[in-house]
A and B are shown apart, each in its own frame.
Chain A
């Protein structure tokens, strides 16, 4: 391109940001329709007949027009800053995802590391929200959240490192290029186990049922979000779904071959989107099928099952790669 690199990156960032916001809004509609069909009902229908196409826009408008209620005894600075601190890492992770070779904001050579590191920063915003609300329910939820997300970041990272080992690089485009022959999820045993561990860790890191003890609507009525209304709530919801979609993109990239697919090269981003949506739907399917488990049981699963299992898996993968010899690519 003839643009200077800074302008090029800024333009890409702008485009990606807007595209992601639109995509995230419509992914909520997809989840609602999918969940509704699994429950023998229809889901959004009337706003933008016949399938509720305008529902996300209506929701966004509604949240923008709502009154912003701030509790009197809330810690103002912390309370107001929390949604932003929560949202920024969730959007920032999209900076490193390449949607096609050469098409991305910044295809860092430590891409996966950046993604994993930044996505864990959301927990600061979460805790700020719980603390600043000056509400016992929110505080309880924030404490549970810190417990849970810290515990599940480890298996998340280890599971995400298995494709890194198999590809030999942290750069995301290199990982996709290494899947030209066979997607990583199809590798016997390692691939499937790593994918399963990744999905389970994603569920927990996203506070999705069965690990949504954080919000636990029937006990804590929305958890750390309980005191937020209007646009701040919209920012938190946006951050959650953006993070959800971002980890789906990561899963599609690490395990399902990213933009690789039949057809011409310009179809690549489309395949990538389809795969990411499939991962998202898989997570949604799990979410709508199970009851949640208690926080001590969640932590038990993580520390007693997932962390040892994922470490063992990583070691085994490393051993296999080493014995396969160099040049595995």
Chain B
């Protein structure tokens, strides 16, 4: 907790309840935080979620294994590739379905490109929250979106869609690489690497930025492990846990990459973790392109009917490292073409649980900085 040395006392008893309501420029979606303020300091936070609930788990029961991957992308819509991957990984684990090597590499490629795109959005929106829609924040936001658009163009050439792809299917992927695409991806990734240097030049060492991000929103190592955060939040607090290393899936052991870990636990540490993840993802993308094997992209024939995939009775939980943390899908099957129960573990849902522990004691302006560094996407939170 921060130590407040001088408090401009408002008598200490005058508390203001302010609603950072669901409609708010920096709510990152629809999120309601009922803040109790003493002057400018937040004393308590009551988080209200559920404004984006769309019954994904029920949809998972009514749609078959063939139909649902396209819908799964709508949970974490900013990082749709990793969301779909969680679902199909769970189905494949349940049904013990083999995924061909080429498909695994394509999945890694999509996931890492998606991670870069998602972090571009994170950086842009975080700086916009901190710097205002009319100010330096908007500048960084537009630069990041400009770079993200390049990746979305690559995805558009691959699948035909820019945000919600429907790229994965049970047994592999739906789309193969078009001609000339890998050259374009290499060019894109080289270009983005240079632009990341520009962002770091704008932000790194910038006293204004450091003043907003350093020492703000510290998640201690113990708190991180107790509350159950994952992804850049837990790696920013000193715990070296990345599911791509801890429980590798989809050929990740074939690639050489570093898992960035910082110990400070504040917003700046999480920023550094994500900036390092940019570069590591670029490294992985290059390795995938160099080593992409030939072969089929799916171990199942092309989809011909809606009930084509059936898995035997059982249950499975698959977890993957999404851009925001651990995305998991728990499936219970009764042998039919639809799951009996699907439970979705959204990374942002568990990450948001840390807010009531770290926000009190900070100023109102820090609330947006912390929310931005936690980077929730409410499709995952409310499902």
Contacts and interface: CB of A to CB of B under 8 A. Distances in A.
Q: Do A and B bind each other?
A: yes
Contact of B130 (A218, A288, A295): A218
Given A288-B138, A292-B131, 12 more contacts: A209-B132, A217-B133, A218-B132, A219-B20, A219-B367, A221-B24, A289-B202, A290-B136, A291-B131, A291-B209, A292-B135, A295-B40
A294 B363 contact: yes
Nearest to B213: A291
Contacts of A289: 136, 139, 202
Given A41-B142, A291-B130, A216 B136 contact: no
A287 interface: yes
A39 interface: yes
Contacts of B209: 290-291
Contact of B131 (A38, A221, A290): A290
Interface string A160-204: 000000000000000000000000000000000000000000000
B326 to A, nearest CB: 28
Contacts, number: 109
Interface of B: 16, 18, 20, 24-26, 40, 127-140, 142-143, 146, 202, 206, 208-209, 211-212, 363-368
A39 B143 contact: yes
A140 B365 CA distance: 11
Contact of B206 (A144, A290, A296): A290
A291 B18 CA distance: 24
A40 B137 contact: no
Given A218-B129, A219-B365, A221-B24, A291 B135 contact: yes
Contacts of B136: 209-210, 287-292
Contacts of B366: 294
Given A39-B139, A221-B24, A289-B139, A294 B212 contact: yes
Interface in A64-82: none
Given A219-B365, A292-B132, A297 B139 contact: no
A294 B216 CA distance: 11
A210 B139 contact: no
Q: By DSSP majority rule, is chain B's interface helix, strand, loop, or mixed? A: helix
Contacts of A288: 135-136, 138-139
Interface string A285-329: 001111111111100000000000000000000000000000000
A254 interface: no
Nearest to B129: A218
A291 B143 contact: no
A209 B132 CA distance: 8
A140 B133 CA distance: 19
Given A39-B143, A209-B136, A290-B135, A297 B40 contact: no
Contacts of A51: none
B135 A221 contact: no
A221 B25 contact: yes
Nearest to A136: B18
Contacts of B134: 209, 212, 217, 287
Nearest to A300: B211
Contacts of B133: 217-218
Contacts of A144: 40
Contacts of A297: 211
A326 B326 CA distance: 75
A215 interface: yes
Nearest to B203: A291
A212 B135 contact: yes
A87 to B, nearest CB: 20
A213 B368 CA distance: 13
A305 B24 CA distance: 34
